[in-house]
Chains A and B, each alone.
Chain A
Amino acid sequence: MIALEHASVKYGHALALEDISIEVGLHEIVAIVGRNGAGKSTTLKTLVGLLPLVAGRRVFGERDISRLSVEQIARQGVALVPDTRRIFPNLTVRENLRIGAVAHQPGYWTEARVLEVFPRLGERIDFGGDQLSGGEQQMLAIARALLGNPRILLLDEPTEGLAPLIVDQLVEVFAHVHRQGTGIVLVEQNLKVPMKLAHRQYVLDHGQVVWSGTSAELKDQRQLVENLITTGAAQ
């Protein structure tokens, strides 16, 4: 399990997360939804150690990882696919894949397996990282993370700006990743993809958790949650 316990985070003097508690099991798919600026990306960055906590704890398994460095946390098996994808533009597609595996033990996800899942990348394997479409970049960013065989995969708005066909394909891939025993944290601005995949969901607003529950519970309270996401107003 990876978790934030009563975590607060600041950018300069501005509080971006306030007393947040979020927990994700290693065999769960959990969605974090919320409108622009709610604090979703900040939550993921905090989980991977990019942002220090001003209060609370960061936990992985039974271990307090509040003070571990970004690379130490990554080596524990926590992988982030950032919202901007951050493909290395000066590396080829093949190198972008290979570098995902360098720091990690081999496992289920090999270069052959990810290319099976994303055949498109195979066709582009010797292209430069700066020669890919948005969809291809997203596939590569996910594939690069998978090659580290993470125990938990954090996805920051992975379907944003992509054609419906590619979104469906990614949903399939995430389900496949989960079946192989990897936990997933899925950040989205709306409920569309989360409702297809997530077991549990958190709604964030103004750096706080304003709703949380299982997807079944969410179905019953869909209107309330939709309102929370669009207006941020509780009640």
Chain B
Amino acid sequence: MSTLIIGLSLGMLLFLLASGLTLIFGMLGVINFAHGALYMLGAYIAFDIGRHTGSFVAGLIGATVLVALAGALIERLALRPLYDRPHFYQLILTFGVILVISEVVKVVWGLGYQESTMPPALAGTVDMFGSTIPVYRLFVIGFGALVSGGLFLLIEKSTFGMLVRAASSDGEMVRLLGLPVASVRMAVFALGSGLAGLAGAIAAPLFPIELGMATNTIIDCFIVVILGGLGNIRGAVAASLLIGLVRAIGYSYMPSWVDILTFSLLIATLLTRPQGLFFRATRSA
């Protein structure tokens, strides 16, 4: 049971991270390699705000908003001039952004790792189904579910979501209808970045906060985005939970096989269902 909870919470954390990546790719066609760096930045910011204010919630909000702002800035200043160039240019740019963010983190927080404390309200454990479950894990699951629901409503039901989907298929036509596509793109990049920041803030109490913290997670995150189908939010939810469970179950029963398991899943998907495990006909979210 606790394996299941750990798997689900891992999956939800992964989803928070992957959703932003898949959103940015699906809507802007940009593969943002700096997503992991934004996640790390979110963790540092949350940690620092938490340290100064003593409030976990302030850390969550602050990390989300500040990283979203950073994303907006990156889009406006660096990415926007490159949309019409080959994808290669955008890849190089997002790599460059990783270096910049890493340097900023080094300068502000130093090289050593930081440890964030659990918010006291979520620090305990509960007994469920005969096992002891950390409350924070349950919080991560509930919060992730909430965010995924909200994101789904935003993309599928709101006017903003409608513009985003329209712009992803034909930005020029959206402009011909009098709508500012450039701002929509910036908002999408900010939203995706904000989600990375939020994921970092949520992850902060679970893992040591350090420069390399994104490396492993971001690989899983790319796997999730591919399994879920590039740009497919619903697919990302399902794939995140799948990977989370595979990892948790794998770690409990055959730890040395975990990576082989996930990568096999990835390769099998790429070979047999390159549009994602959960791809259905023409409509995608």
The interface of chain A, by Cβ under 8 A from chain B, is 48, 50, 69-71, 74-75, 79-80, 82, 86, 88-91, 95, 98-100, 102-104, 128, 130, 144, 148
Contact with A along B153-179 (1 / 0, CB 8 A): 000000100110110111011111111
Does B180 belong to the interface (CB within 8 Å)? Answer: yes
Does B53 belong to the interface (CB within 8 Å)? Answer: no
Q: Is the CB of B179 within 8 A of A48?
A: no
Q: Is the CB of B178 within 8 A of A103?
A: yes
Known: A80-B176, A88-B173; 12 extra A-B contacts, CB below 8 A, are A82-B176, A86-B170, A86-B173, A86-B176, A88-B169, A90-B283, A99-B166, A99-B177, A102-B178, A102-B179, A103-B178, A104-B178
- In B158-216, the 8 Å CB interface with A consists of 159, 162-163, 165-166, 168-170, 172-181
Which residues on the A side are within 8 Å of B165 (C-beta)? 88, 90-91
Q: How far is the CA of A99 from the CA of B175 in the complex (A)?
A: 11
Q: How far is the CA of A71 from the CA of B184 in the complex (A)?
A: 13
Which residues on the B side are within 8 Å of A75 (C-beta)? 178
A148 contact from B163, B174, B178, Cβ within 8 A? B178
Which residues on the A side are within 8 Å of B162 (C-beta)? 91, 95, 98-99
A102 and B168 in contact, given A86-B173, A130-B282 (Cβ under 8 angstroms): no
Which residues on the B side are within 8 Å of A71 (C-beta)? 175-176, 178-181
Q: How far is the CA of A144 from the CA of B177 in the complex (A)?
A: 9
Does B284 belong to the interface (CB within 8 Å)? Answer: yes
A88 and B170 in contact, given A71-B180, A102-B163 (Cβ under 8 angstroms): yes
For the complex formed, measure the closest distance between the CB of A220 and the CB atoms of chain B, giving whole angstroms: 37
Q: How far is the CA of A104 from the CA of B172 in the complex (A)?
A: 17
Q: Is the CB of B176 within 8 A of A74?
A: yes
12 CB-based A-B contacts, threshold 8 Å: A71-B175, A71-B180, A82-B176, A88-B166, A95-B166, A99-B174, A100-B177, A102-B177, A102-B178, A104-B178, A144-B177, A148-B178
Q: How far is the CA of A74 from the CA of B179 in the complex (A)?
A: 8
Q: Is the CB of B163 within 8 A of A89?
A: no
Most chain A CB inside 10 Å of its own CB: which residue of B162, B163, B168: B162
Task: Name A77's closest neighbour in chain B (CB-CB).
Answer: B178
Which residues on the B side are within 8 Å of A144 (C-beta)? 177
Q: Is the CB of A102 within 8 A of B169?
A: no
Rank and list the top 4 A-B pairs by shortest CB-CB distance, nearest first.
A103-B178, A74-B178, A75-B178, A70-B175
Which residues on the B side are within 8 Å of A90 (C-beta)? 165-166, 168-169, 282-284
Which residues on the A side are within 8 Å of B179 (C-beta)? 71, 99, 102-103
Q: Give chain B's interface residue range (CB within 8 Å of chain A).
A: 20 to 34
Question: Interface of chain B, helix or strand or loop or mixed?
Answer: helix
Q: How far is the CA of A88 from the CA of B174 in the complex (A)?
A: 9
Q: Is the CB of A70 within 8 A of B168?
A: no
Most chain A CB inside 10 Å of its own CB: which residue of B165, B169, B178, B180: B178
Which residues on the A side are within 8 Å of B282 (C-beta)? 89-90, 128, 130
Which residues on the B side are within 8 Å of A50 (C-beta)? 172, 176
Which residues on the A side are within 8 Å of B174 (C-beta)? 99
For the complex formed, measure the closest distance between the CB of A77 and the CB atoms of chain B, giving whole angstroms: 9
Which residues on the B side are within 8 Å of A130 (C-beta)? 282
Which residues on the A side are within 8 Å of B175 (C-beta)? 69-71, 74
Which residues on the B side are within 8 Å of A69 (C-beta)? 175
A89 and B172 in contact, given A99-B163, A103-B179 (Cβ under 8 angstroms): no
Q: How far is the CA of A205 from the CA of B147 in the complex (A)?
A: 57
Q: How far is the CA of A98 from the CA of B158 in the complex (A)?
A: 11
- In B95-143, the 8 Å CB interface with A consists of none
Which residues on the A side are within 8 Å of B163 (C-beta)? 99, 102
Task: Name A73's closest neighbour in chain B (CB-CB).
Answer: B178
Q: How far is the CA of A221 from the CA of B111 in the complex (A)?
A: 84
Which residues on the A side are within 8 Å of B177 (C-beta)? 74, 79, 99-100, 102-103, 144, 148
For the complex formed, measure the closest distance between the CB of A45 and the CB atoms of chain B, giving whole angstroms: 10
Q: Is the CB of B176 within 8 A of A70?
A: yes
For the complex formed, measure the closest distance between the CB of A158 and the CB atoms of chain B, giving whole angstroms: 15
Q: How far is the CA of A79 from the CA of B165 in the complex (A)?
A: 21
For the complex formed, measure the closest distance between the CB of B125 and the CB atoms of chain A, giving whole angstroms: 45
Which residues on the B side are within 8 Å of A86 (C-beta)? 170, 173, 176
Q: How far is the CA of A80 from the CA of B283 in the complex (A)?
A: 26
For the complex formed, measure the closest distance between the CB of A12 and the CB atoms of chain B, giving whole angstroms: 15
Q: How far is the CA of A100 from the CA of B174 in the complex (A)?
A: 9
Most chain B CB inside 10 Å of its own CB: which residue of A48, A69, A74: A74
